[in-house]
Amino acid sequence: KRRIGVMTSGGDAPGMNGAVRAVVRMSIAQNCEVYAIYEGYEGLVQGGDMIKEMGWDDVRGFLSEGGTLIGTARCKSFMERPGRLIAAKNMIVKGIDALIICGGDGSLTGADKFRKEWPGLLEELIQKQELTEEQVEPFKHLNIVGLVGSIDNDLSMTDATIGCYSSLGRICESVDYIDATAFSHQRAFVIEVMGRHCGWLALMAGVSCGADFVFLPENPPPLDWEDDMCKIIKKHRELGKRKTIVIVAEGAHDRYLKKISPAHVRDLLTNKLHLDTRITTLGHVQRGGTACAYDRMLSTLQGAEAVKAVLEATPETPSPVICMIENKIVRRPLLEAVKQTHEVAEAIAAKDFDRAMSLRDAE
Ligand code: ATP
């Protein structure tokens, strides 16, 4: 029987539990044994009780739950080869030769690195007499399959990551609450949302909530944005709007890469337009709560596809990541998706915003 490990890693996202549930149940349906690795790579490095066999009933009730019930962590030791050596030993001791990882680009990069190093790690384990050749023999190839769990929708090559629509829904709901009080007092609100390198949440929240102005990391405003923003908001007020909503992505900056702070935006609206202006930082409510219907559906379909990908993998197939493109669940090479994702961040850091935007458009 194949033994498949499943873990969640990096920042938590609603829908991760749905992915674990789907992997567990699809594995069992395909006559495999399946193990949950608790606390991300930390569980893989610690081994023992952190790697537990899962039965059908162990994931009952997982589908709607937010966060990740098997835990996640940032694991420093897995970043270094000695940590990955211990992780490899723990996997072989448990008889696991396939890993399905639900996480962000960092987690998926780590997974692919682990797969590349795998033959060398096995050799080292034999040399150090941690394991015998006979023990290692059945585990010559490691299969890795990625599932993208991230509220930011920041991975290239997929239209939606697991968690982004739950988070967008939460932002819209929160802005609706703010709208009521803003309208009543004719106030302005500057709302900071998550997104360090990716403005998807800010942009989609802007569209969904009818915001007056949105600041994104990929497309910083022109240098005279202060006058520009005030002109637009003044016009909206003259047209009879009683409230003003400005959305700032946490990674938003101007063309000099100077952070656009909500406090600075508030001061402009207060001093130049004389609006009673408040700041709301939505913070971690954006991550929490139950998974929306879309994320339950996405995580279930993708989790099932991930198990299929494990069973169909050959030593030559590059590690796949399970994506959603034009409403279809598809596999793409994991490393290429991560590479494209990093290219956007690099373009922003190099102030090449045309390139950042064209990469986003190409997505
Ligand atoms: P998010 O985008 O939500 O932050 P992420 O998966 O990108 O999620 P990271 O903190 O970058 O989150 O990565 C999670 C864990 O994956 C790290 O703590 C580390 O254990 C492992 N990891 C990340 N990058 C690497 C790498 N280059 N090599 C080995 N392991 C890595």
pLDDT value, residue 281: 97
Residues assigned a catalytic role: 152
Q: What is the rounded distance in angstroms from the CA atom of residue 31 to the CA atom of residue 215? A: 50
Three state DSSP letters for 270-307: HHHHCCCEEEEECHHHHCCCCCCHHHHHHHHHHHHHHH
Q: How far is the CA of 73 from the centre of ligand 1 (A)?
A: 9
Ligand 1 atom nearest the C-alpha of 104 is 6
Interstrand relation of 143-148 and 98-103 (parallel, antiparallel or unpaired): parallel
Q: What is the rounded distance in angstroms from the CA atom of residue 309 to the CA atom of residue 146? A: 10
For ligand 1, whether the C-beta of 68 sits within 6 Å is no
For ligand 1, whether the C-beta of 10 sits within 6 Å is yes
Closest residue by Cα to atom 19, ligand 1, is: 75
Q: How far is the CA of 339 from the centre of ligand 1 (A)?
A: 14
For ligand 1, whether the C-beta of 161 sits within 6 Å is no
Q: How far is the CA of 51 from the centre of ligand 1 (A)?
A: 19
Closest residue by Cα to atom 2, ligand 1, is: 104
For ligand 1, whether the C-beta of 78 sits within 6 Å is yes
pLDDT value, residue 267: 98
Q: What is the mean pLDDT of each run of 10 residues along the chain (363 residues)?
A: 96 97 98 98 97 98 95 95 97 96 94 94 96 94 96 94 98 95 95 95 97 95 93 97 97 93 97 97 93 98 98 92 97 93 91 89 74
Q: How many CB atoms lie within 10 A of CB 183?
A: 12
Decide: helix, strand or coil at residue 53.
Answer: strand
For ligand 1, whether the C-beta of 342 sits within 6 Å is no
- Residue that is written with structure tokens 């996480």 in the block: 103
First-to-last alpha carbon distance for the chain, in angstroms, is: 39
Q: How far is the CA of 275 from the centre of ligand 1 (A)?
A: 42
The tokens describing 251, both together, are 């990674």
- Comparing CA positions, the residue from 90, 113, 24, 95 lying closest to residue 16 is 24
Decide: helix, strand or coil at residue 71.
Answer: coil
Which of 8, 44, 107 most suits a substitution to test ligand 1, by most atoms within 8 Å of the C-beta? 107
Q: At what angle do helices 225-238 and 262-273 cross, to 10 degrees?
A: 60
Helix (H) or strand (E) holding 111: helix 105-127
Contacts of 65 (CB under 8 A, 6+ apart): 17, 290, 291
Q: What is the rounded distance in angstroms from the CA atom of residue 273 to the CA atom of residue 231? A: 9
Amino acid letter for position 14: P
pTM for this prediction? 0.94
For ligand 1, whether the C-beta of 104 sits within 6 Å is yes
For ligand 1, whether the C-beta of 109 sits within 6 Å is yes
Answer whether 247's CB lies under 8 Å from 206's CB.
Answer: yes
Decide: helix, strand or coil at residue 259.
Answer: strand
For ligand 1, whether the C-beta of 41 sits within 6 Å is yes
Answer whether 36's CB lies under 8 Å from 264's CB.
Answer: no
Q: How far is the CA of 226 from the centre of ligand 1 (A)?
A: 37
- Interface ipTM: 0.91
Q: How far is the CA of 109 from the centre of ligand 1 (A)?
A: 7
